[in-house]
Amino acid sequence: MSFDVREQSLALGKPIRLYAFSRGVLRWSYNSSDRDVTYNNQVYKTVQGGLVDSGIIQSGDPGSDRLTLTGPADLEVAQEYRGMPPSDVIELEIYDVHWQDTEVLTAWVGQVTSVNWPKVESATITCTGLDALMDQPGLTDTYSRTCTAVLGDVWCGVDLDAYRVEGVVLAIDGLKITVGAAGGYPDGYFTAGYVEWDVGGGNFDRRHVEKHQGSDLTMLAGTAGIPSVGVLRLYPGCDFLPTTCRDKFNNAQRLRAIPQLQGSSPFDGNQVW
């Protein structure tokens, strides 16, 4: 029996919604029924207490068409957002199927934007659809005295793995971490850079460095979530100045800046420029 026939029937329909969360190779799979469901060799677990969504809305304004899921407070994927949220986005695909039917339709695709616990016993997961994610500004490159690239991106071209430093955490508090390996570099070398640590499945969480002095790294937004033992990966920062690009990264040929740019703009309405 086809999916459409069951959807249109008053008695034959047994709808189930499958929720597939993913972050890299990590997976959290749930369904809306009272028993586990297997689809595409993946087990979608039933959720004690139920997992429901607010419904798929297509109002014509993708930015406001948020989808909200409500489930138990200890839902595994929600725990990823306890304290600091993960550095990488968690994606969500929703499938519709009928019990004991083989036809499965993709109903919704997007990503998690936030998780809240409005009640002690429940968690609310707010998601944004793919349409809204595609509704982004176009080209934003500008004339600038400082470089407009992001350190390590395709425009910059610096291989950050070549500058990566691994160090053992010696001390940690709510504001900064102490890593012995950082002391071997000049003060400020890691300022505006970041540290990352393994969270399993080939995924890493990251936190930016606000200030580097000696072996101490002051972290932007504090040290919550950073492991107090183990090895961290340290990456240097860049202030996007021509001298830094040349002396620190030997990358002056790819500098996307105009250091001699004058202070006035030809587009400010002044007829004399």
Mean pLDDT computed over every residue of the chain: 89
Question: Full-prediction pTM beyond 0.85?
Answer: no
Q: Which fold does the domain 160-254 belong to in CATH?
A: Thrombin, subunit H (2.40.10)
121 vs 127: CA distance, rounded Å? 20
Q: What is the pLDDT of residue 156?
A: 95
CATH code 2.40.10 region(s) in the chain: 3-134, 160-254
- Compute the C-alpha angle 162/168/174, nearest 5°: 110
Residue 8's pLDDT is 65
Give the least confident one: 84-98, 136-150, 211-225, 231-245.
136-150
User: What type of residue sits at position 52?
Assistant: V
Task: Decide which of 197 and 10 is more confident.
Answer: 197
pLDDT band at 22 (very low <50, low <70, confident <90, very high): very high
Interval 101-119 mean pLDDT: 91
Q: Is the pLDDT of residue 152 over 90?
A: yes
Coarse DSSP helix, strand, coil percentages of the chain, rounded to the nearest 5 percent: 15, 35, 50
Tell me if 66 sits within 8 A of 127, measured CB to CB.
Answer: yes
Per-residue pLDDT band at 174 (split at 50, 70, 90):
confident
At 136 the pLDDT is 66
For residue 133, pLDDT over 70 is answered with yes
Query: What is the percentage of the chain residues whose pLDDT exceeds 70?
Result: 93
Residue 73 phi/psi, 5-degree rounding, is -65, -25
The CATH architecture to which 3-134 belongs is: Beta Barrel (2.40)
Token readout for 148 is 């407009």
